Amino acid sequence: NAGVTQTPKFQVLKTGQSMTLQCAQDMNHEYMSWYRQDPGMGLRLIHYSVGAGITDQGEVPNGYNVSRSTTEDFPLRLLSAAPSQTSVYFCASSYSPGTGGTEAFFGQGTRLTVV
């Protein structure tokens, strides 16, 4: 049971480049989400999904796209990377919060630097 797997672990991009951060879970969780973590800012929600085919914006969605074509995968796309997107990105999954809530599991993070 791998849990939540994020790839890559590290990435350096040039300004204007695009890339996709991958997230996969094998726990059949309906709920998946992406966060970014910056010093002094805590974890801020970028986008989330309550099931395949359903996504919604979080607190800081600008510059990011997501899609959820399967229950297992929830990729995060940076359309045109900017230095302000330098951060550590975390993917999380759980059963739906609306069912009373269950423990959330996190990936190990992707450290992204945009130069």
Partner 1 sequence: KQEVTQIPAALSVPEGENLVLNCSFTDSAIYNLQWFRQDPGKGLTSLLLIQSSQREQTSGRLNASLDKSSGRSTLYIAASQPGDSATYLCAVSTDKLIFGTGTRLQVFP
- Give yes or no for residue 28 binding partner 1 (CB under 8 A): no
Q: Yes or no: say if 47 and 59 are a contact pair by the CB < 8 Å rule.
A: no
Options 29, 68, 109, 114; binder of partner 1; rule CB under 8 A: 109
What token pair was written down for 65? Answer: 């796209």
For residues 31-90, which are near partner 1 according to CB under 8 A? 33, 35, 40-45, 48, 50, 58, 90
Residue 29 Ramachandran class (φ > 0 left, ψ -120 to 50 alpha, else beta): beta
- Rounded to whole angstroms, the Cα distance separating 44 from 51 reads 20
Closest separation between CB of residue 72 and partner 1, Å?
Answer: 18
Interface contacts to partner 1, rule CB under 8 A: 33, 35, 40-45, 48, 50, 58, 90, 92, 94, 97-98, 100-109
